[in-house]
Amino acid sequence: MSANKQPSRVTPLEHTLIGAVGGVMEVCLMQPMVAFKNALQEGRPLPTTPIQMYRGLLINCGSIAPITASQFGTNRIMERALLQQRGGQPLSSVDRFGCAAVAGAVSALVASPTELIIIQQQKKCTPLLQEVKHFAATYSAISAYRGVGPCIGRETLYAAGYLGLCPILFDKLKDTQQFKDSPASAMAIAGVVGGVFAASASHPFDTIKTRMQAAMYTKPEYLTWTSTAATIYKEGGVLNFWRGLLPRMTRIIAATFILINVRSAAVGYLEEQRQPPQLTAEKLLPELSQ
C-alpha cells in the first residue's frame, strides 16, 4: 500500500488471485447488507430471515471473485505500465487514484450481469438455477448487460474509493507525527473515509442500475438509465438517489477494511518471501579471512 519506492515482486496475476480470495471473504460476511440495500432501493419489504438475507450468496460469491480479481489485477497492470513509462519514478496520488478508477470500470463488465440475476432472485424468491433458466428463456443474451452504463459509473467511483483513496490516505497519515506510532488508527481513518467516499459518490449510479435491472423491460419509465434517473427524481427528489445508502455504506466500509488488509497482508508476505538473502557478518567473516 505504500508508494512505489521499489519495484514490486508480486505479479499482476498474483494480485488478481488475492483479489478473488478477498472478494469471497467480504461477500460471505456482508451479503445481508446487499439484500437490505436492494430491498430499500426497490421499495419492497426488508428480508427478515437468514435465508432471505443470504439469497443470491452463491452467485454473488461466484461473481465477486472475478470482480475483485479484475480490479486488483487491472489496477496492478495499470500501475506497472505507468511505472515503466516513467522510468520507475514513484506514482503520484492522482496516478494511483486513476489506476483504481480504470480497474473499477473494467470490473463492471463482470458485475452487471451477475447482479441482475441476484436482483431477480431476491425479487421473486427463486433458486439460482431456476432464475438462470427463466432468464435465458425469456431474454436475449444482450439483456444480461442491462444497466451496464450506470454499473460502470458505480464501479469506477467505488474502486477509486477503496483501491485508490484509502491506500493514498493511509500512506499520507502513517508518516505524520500524530499517527507514526499508531498505524492502526491511520488505517481506521483511511478506511472510513475511503468507504464513505466510495459509497456516497457511487450510490446514485447503483440506485439507477438496481431499478433498471429489477424492472427489466416491463415498465417504460425504466427503459433507459436517463429515463430511470428522471423517474427516481420525480418520486422523491435528489435524496431519492441515495435510498438504501446506509446498508451499502456499512458494507463498503467493511469491504474496504477487508480487501485492503487482505491485499496488504498477502502482498507483504509474498514480498518478504522473495527478499534476496541478506549477507550477515557471520557469513562474511569466513570469506574475508581467506
* CATH for 224: 1.50.40.10
Q: Output the CA torsion 109→118→198→182 (10° steps).
A: -110
Angle between helices 183-215 and 245-273 (to 10 degrees): 130
C-alpha to C-alpha distance for 116 and 99, rounded to whole angstroms: 26
**pLDDT over 90 percentage in the chain:** 41
Assess if residue 143 is contained within a domain.
yes
Assess if residue 6 is contained within a domain.
no
Task: Detail the DSSP E strand segments found in the chain.
Answer: none
Assess if residue 273 is contained within a domain.
no
Assess if residue 119 is contained within a domain.
yes
8 A C-beta contact, residue 222 and residue 287: no
CA distances from 29 to 53, 134, 251 (A): 11, 29, 9
Residue 57: predicted pLDDT:
87
- What's the domain count of the chain? 1
Residues of the chain with pLDDT under 50: 1-5, 279, 284, 287-290
Assess if residue 278 is contained within a domain.
no
Assess if residue 237 is contained within a domain.
yes
Write the pLDDT tens digit of every residue in 115-148: 899 889 888 888 888 999 999 999 999 999 999 9
pTM of the model: 0.77
Question: Domain limits at 30?
Answer: 12-264
Write the pLDDT tens digit of every residue in 91-119: 999 999 999 999 999 999 988 998 899 88
C-alpha to C-alpha distance for 26 and 45, rounded to whole angstroms: 25
Assess if residue 5 is contained within a domain.
no
8 A C-beta contact, residue 70 and residue 103: yes
Assess if residue 49 is contained within a domain.
yes
